[in-house]
Amino acid sequence: MSFDGQVAIVTGGASGIGKETARVFAQKGAAVAIIDYAGDAAINAAFEVSKDTGNDQIMGIKADVAQSKEVVAMVDEVVKSYGRIDFLVNSAAIRAAGNVLTLDKEVWDQVMQVNLKGMFLTSRYCLPKMIEGGGGSIVHISSVQSFASQKNVVAYTASKGGINALTRAMAVDHAADHIRVNAVCPGTTYTPAVIKSAGRFEGEKTLEEWGKANPVGRLGESLEIAHLVVFLCSREASFMTGGVYTADGGLLAKLPCELPENN
């Protein structure tokens, strides 16, 4: 896969899956705009990716994907710098603890604004540029929690379920524009966010337990998810659109009740 002369935008690109996705795009020759709410983090990530890959067409941009004006400004800056947009990877997301009785309404709104509306807005303003260039590919980062949920993550789970539906709708709406839209649903992946979440419990021990819950016996790595994302943007995936793909180490395939070993 080569992406020479093509341009990718990766939101939530300063860390975790987003950062590794930006790195893989850069390795394959694409110009990459790393977007993050934390501007310094976006710039630092762009510097690191550029240095590691030898690709000098990497930029970091501060933008809140939930704010239309900031998304418009971000898209304009990318087009001004690189002339086009071919790929959009929506990885920006936040998570909050609580169920429908305990979660503050304002926190519910915030999660939906970033996780779901943010993907709507970035797609809304990137799509015209992609269509002008003859087409492209969009990948939304969803989650296995769009299919099954832990306790007390009602807003996160609902937002990820919405992403899957958004993916299908966009794929149907924009196929004639030569835009492919897919979603990737990672399982528990070794990212800063997951490490922080495990820190609320027993840290490394909790991470180990989460890994053992997967049939492969370990957590996923951000780079493993990134390779799937970039593949879905490639010409090799030209007949794939409207799909929702799990990368979860077999987690959703496994029933929690197991038969005795001597059965």
User: At 202, which amino acid appears?
Assistant: E
Catalytically annotated residue among 82, 156, 190, 245: 156
156 among known catalytic residues? yes
CB 166 within 8 A of CB 119: yes
Residue 212 near residue 186, CB atoms below 8 Å: no
Closest CA to 59 of 90, 14, 20, 94: 14
What residues pair up with 215 in beta bridges, in sequence order? none
d(CA 183, CA 88) in angstroms, rounded, equals 12
- H-state helical runs in the chain: 16-27, 39-53, 68-82, 105-112, 118-132, 154-174, 192-198, 204-212, 222-233
Report which of 148, 153, 140 is spatially closest to residue 180, judged by C-alpha positions: 140
Q: What are phi and psi of 38, to 5 degrees?
A: -90, 105
Quick one: how far is CA 13 from the chain centroid?
9
Residue 241, amino acid: T
User: Which one, of 114, 247, 232, lies nearest residue 186 by Cα?
Assistant: 247
Question: What are the catalytic residues?
Answer: 156
